[in-house]
Amino acid sequence: MKLAIVILNWNGKQLLEQFMPSIVKHSKEATVYLADNASTDDSVVFIKSNFPTVKIIQNTVNGGYAKGYNDALKNLDEDIFCLINSDVEVTENWLAPIIETFTNEANTAIIQPKLLDYNNKEYFEYAGAAGGFIDKFGYPYCRGRIFNTIEKDLGQYNDKADIFWASGACLFIRSNVFKQLNGLDECFFAHMEEIDLCWRAKNMGYHVTYVGQSEIYHVGGATLSNTNPQKTYLNFRNSLYTLTKNAKGNLFFLIFIRLVLDGVAAVKFLFELKFKHISSIVYAHFSFYRHLKTLLKQRKAFKNKQKYYNKTSIVLDYYVYHSKHYNCL
């Protein structure tokens, strides 16, 4: 089983200096690639000079996460692709449990390792923690993280579990499945495209699995922090995209409820005096309406829609019933 570890980079020399050594040291089972998104710094020169075993894929434009990986992976022939952020520190033997799972579980198409916080290593990391889920209305949450409440790692998720989505901070996928799904949806540009990818895989009958025996540490927010209005825009817009494309059930009802809940989120930002985030939600909805015709065509093309949620409303559970931890849901 051949494995490609592909690090997407854009002007990230400082991160590569800090985190590439652990990936090269602890990934002897794999071929390591740097996929550069038309950087204007000397990231590529740095890698060529200091890590000669790392292969360079030079993308011609900065197309974001989705297009960047689609362009980078199209000519690779490894059996497994690992899409990993440049701000991730890996640990010794992190690949062994992943390879074992792919070897023994033929229907597992996507895997996420345990994602811990690089800056506070006793806690899970926001981007994916111990594997992701969504509620009926498309709001994501994780084992180990619900909204901004992040759990301490006490070994409660040292297991292997079926999850709904794997974090794009570090996502392993069988290359044949990636190609079967036509890769990532480039309309997303960045954020939540991994949820869409996993959702489409689930609708095709594949499993997405969390493997807690593999641990990595993620900085998070190296590209866009949680306080950045652009991230708010992408998250709200792309969540509506995923629902429209993939959700089973009455789409009109789902979108109507989302309008109401997104309005509540805007009111929350109003009380917090975060006016740019309110604008981001408004712009997200306008962008969604502009692309609705295309999204409905995609929805029509995806025939085999499965039930996608275990919780009806994580918003209700979190804010009304005060269920702050996954095991309390």
Q: What pTM, to 2 d.p., does this model score?
A: 0.93
- Domain range for 305: 229-328
Identify whether residues 124 and 183 lie together within a single domain.
Answer: yes
Identify whether residues 195 and 236 lie together within a single domain.
Answer: no
Mean predicted confidence (pLDDT) in 238-253: 94
48: domain CATH number?
A: 3.90.550.10
Q: 88-90 and 207-218: which strand pairing?
A: antiparallel
- Has residue 201 got a pLDDT over 80? yes
* Structure-derived torsion over alpha carbons of residues 198, 6, 237, 224, reported in degrees to the nearest 10: 140
Q: Grade residue 324 by pLDDT with cuts at 50, 70 and 90.
A: very high
- The strand ranges marked E within the chain are 3-9, 31-37, 55-59, 80-84, 88-90, 108-117, 120-124, 132-134, 140-142, 145-146, 149-150, 160-163, 170-174, 207-218
- Has residue 223 got a pLDDT over 60? no
- Has residue 75 got a pLDDT over 70? yes
How many domains, the chain? 2
Q: Grade residue 225 by pLDDT with cuts at 50, 70 and 90.
A: low
- Has residue 226 got a pLDDT over 70? no
Calpha distance 274→271 (Å, rounded): 8
Residue 224 lies in a domain: no
Helix or strand holding residue 308 (H, E): none
User: For 180-195, what is the HEC assignment?
Assistant: HCCCCCHHHCCCCHHH
Residue 267 lies in a domain: yes
Residue-level pLDDT at 306: 87
Give 233-298 as a DSSP string: HHHHHHHHHHHHHH--S-HHHHHHHHHHHHHHHHHHHHHTT-HHHHHHHHHHHHHHHHTHHHHHHH
Identify whether residues 154 and 207 lie together within a single domain.
Answer: yes
Tens of pLDDT, residue by residue over 13-47, are 999 999 999 999 999 999 999 999 999 999 999 99
Tens of pLDDT, residue by residue over 144-155, are 999 999 999 999
Identify whether residues 58 and 171 lie together within a single domain.
Answer: yes
Highest-confidence range of 62-66, 161-165, 227-231, 248-252, by mean pLDDT?
Answer: 161-165
Identify whether residues 248 and 305 lie together within a single domain.
Answer: yes
Identify whether residues 60 and 109 lie together within a single domain.
Answer: yes
Mean predicted confidence (pLDDT) in 115-138: 96
Q: Which residues pair with 142 in a beta bridge?
A: 132, 145
- Has residue 83 got a pLDDT over 80? yes
Identify whether residues 94 and 45 lie together within a single domain.
Answer: yes
Identify whether residues 282 and 149 lie together within a single domain.
Answer: no
Identify whether residues 97 and 12 lie together within a single domain.
Answer: yes
